[in-house]
Amino acid sequence: MKPLKVALLGCGVVGSQVIRLMHEQAADLAARIGAPLELAGVAVRRLGRKRDIDIDPSLLTTDAEALVTRDDVDIVIEVIGGIEPARTLIVSALSKGKSVVTANKALLAEDGGTLHEAARNGNGDLYFEASVAGAIPLLRPLRESLAGDHVKRVLGIVNGTTNYILDKMDSTGASFTDALEEAQTLGYAEADPTADVEGFDAAAKAAILAGLAFHSRVTAAEVHREGITEITATDVASAKEMGYVIKLLAICARADDGRSFGVRVHPAMIPRSHPLAGVREAYNAVFVEAESAGELMFYGKGAGGAPTASAVLGDLVAVARNRLAGTRGPEESTYADLVAHPMGETVTRCHVALDVADKPGVLARVAELFSKHDVSIQTVRQEGRGDDAQLVIVTHRATDAALTATMEGLRELDIVRAVASVMRVEGDE
């Protein structure tokens, strides 16, 4: 059959692996699709740069716009990342009736609506499995396999860099700075790790997950975001003593009112008995809780050239099959039109460590303040004496606004020398 021609935007870590897999698996891909794939061109920033893979120089171009709008191109793969020029190029391709496969989580989370509208108007496919959790098949199950179910909650580790850092802090007692430096040395963290350690990467992924799970349009701006830069070796050691581990979690949960949801990214303590506690190094894992299916867990490599390219190729096969059949995959589903409620309305639990004065009545006054803000205490223990006196409190569930007000009140009490740490707790009651 006539080959389907593919334009590739980007030839970096992921793009080079896409080319490798297209070459090595050409016969198998053709058999699975029903027609061969042919690389029509590769858009790059600099033509003379040394690349990780041998590629015919005649395929390289710096004119990405001309490449994606060529009449003979059927499918465009975008792996350059960022907002622009990726958005303009994807919209141009879709407007010309091309199908697009992208791994661009930042763009999807900021302006996915524009991309989906362009796909609908141009009658093309927009697939983006590689945008969240690398090689892990996660988005298609949410978008297709669970389309007949009611997803209630998505909870997981979706950033390998932060998971590696927190895992090393837990297993070796390293500081945040030392663990980050090790991650950078091994290639798990960028030279500028801000997007990872401040939670921006995970927040973009959480927005995509929430949108698919709750059939609503969600942007990264609606995601409550906290990073891990303030986590200390003392915090990690304290959690370990209590039988907990600290992870950066993405949490998307429907509200009981049926009209809203919460979506957040922040570090949290989870019991060591929880399956997510055993997710080590740079791996990812995501729980999906559905009304009929129950709890499902997806686990695997969440980043890297080859794993991400695997997800890209899976999407490539899907859109190629659709193109041959003259059909399209599922469009964006936003019929539910739920709204993201603010973090203050989110119900959560907290572990609080207070440096307190060593004298009678301290516990009573602290408990009175918690009661004033309708925050129930689950457990409390007193540690140390004199200048080392400390109260360690774990709350029952309460709104984040109530917990925040309680923390502010504690800082004003004359018997509290300092709020040593505040950490949300997930995974048990």
| Catalytic positions | 205
Structure tokens at 34: 């029903």
Structure tokens at 373: 């803000």
Reply yes or no: is the peptide bond before residue 85 cis, omega within 30 of 0: yes
Considering only the C-alpha atoms of the chain, give the largest distance between any 2 of them, rounded to a whole number of Å: 85
Structure tokens at 212: 């698919």
Alpha carbons 115 and 94: distance in angstroms, whole number: 8
Strands 339-340 vs 260-271: parallel, antiparallel or unpaired = parallel
Q: Is 192 helix (H, G, I), strand (E, B) or coil?
A: coil
Alpha carbons 389 and 418: distance in angstroms, whole number: 11
CB 284 within 8 A of CB 158: yes
Query: Residue 324 to residues 1, 34, 274, 410: CA-CA distances in angstroms?
Result: 10, 8, 45, 65
- DSSP of 327-388: ---PPP--TT--EEPPGGG-EEEEEEEEEE-SSTTHHHHHHHHHHHTT--EEEEEEE--GGG
Of 15, 76, 14, whose CA–CA distance to 40 is shortest?
76
Query: Residue 88 to residues 65, 93, 95, 109, 111: CA-CA distances in angstroms?
Result: 8, 9, 10, 15, 11
- What is the sign, positive or negative, of the torsion defined by CA atoms of 310, 91, 329, 297? positive
C-alpha of 294 from chain center: 21
CB 156 within 8 A of CB 284: yes
List of residues 6+ apart from 177 with CB closer than 8 A: none
